[in-house]
Amino acid sequence: MTQLVVATRNRKKLAEIKEVLKGLDVKLLSLDSYKAAPQVREDGRSFQENAVKKAKKLARFTGKLCLGEDSGLCVDALGGAPGIYSARFSGRDKSDLKNNLKLLEMLKGLPLTERKAHYYCAVALADKKGLVGVVEGSCSGLIVFEPKGSAGFGYDPLFYIPKYKKTFAQLGEKIKHTMSHRYHALKKARPLIKRYVVGY
């Protein structure tokens, strides 16, 4: 069975990726299986650049097929911020809570209609020979005025889906995994992984 190394140590993100990719004839590993894996500086100018950098660097290190993923929240009223800086939006002592509070402070006074946002995800696949492919996905919503719900991670407590009248954190993983930015990107990645496994 082909091993697919996911370039992350974020267990919640890994669990989400495993859920969306289940059924593929691959064994998913995280960087927890490679304690000496090099750190990858996410200094690209786009989600795609960061995803490709992760995938290629870790593929060279492991010698295996690697999946690099970069994702974040883009808020229209903030010119697309926090964007590629989503995870470290609140600075060096970042945390999901601090990131959420900073976002709420920056949007203070804006009505819900002016709090449009989308989650974006880029997924890159690479092996030791180089890049296999890059795909992307997105999901649109609104930023509510206070955190709601306890599921998920990141900005999920603030990311509101009008169709369900709930945030991602209120909807829970079962529904989120059928509509999220990561779901849409990984759905496109599935055929790339399948073709790679068959031709391996």
8 Å CB contact between 13 and 184? no
pTM above 0.95, yes or no: no
Query: Is 76 marked active-site?
Result: no
Per-residue pLDDT 10s for the chain (200 aa) are: 889 999 998 888 888 898 889 899 899 999 999 988 888 888 899 999 999 999 999 999 999 999 999 999 999 999 999 999 999 999 989 999 999 999 999 999 999 999 999 999 999 999 999 999 999 999 999 999 999 999 989 999 999 999 999 999 999 888 998 999 999 999 999 999 999 888 75
Q: What pLDDT is attached to residue 161?
A: 97
Going from the N-terminus, what domains does the chain have, and what CATH number goes with each?
A: 2-199 (3.90.950.10)
Dist CA 44 CA 51 (whole Å)? 9
Q: What pLDDT is attached to residue 200?
A: 56
**Residue 37, CA distances (Å) to 30, 61, 64, 99 in order:** 10, 7, 13, 27
Looking only at the bridges linking them, the beta strands covering 26-30 and 65-75 are: unpaired
Q: What pLDDT is attached to residue 180?
A: 94
Q: What pLDDT is attached to residue 174?
A: 86
**Residue 78, CA distances (Å) to 51, 105, 130 in order:** 23, 12, 35
Q: What pLDDT is attached to residue 11?
A: 85
Dist CA 130 CA 124 (whole Å)? 11
Which of the following is catalytic: 32, 70, 76, 93?
70
Dist CA 148 CA 157 (whole Å)? 5
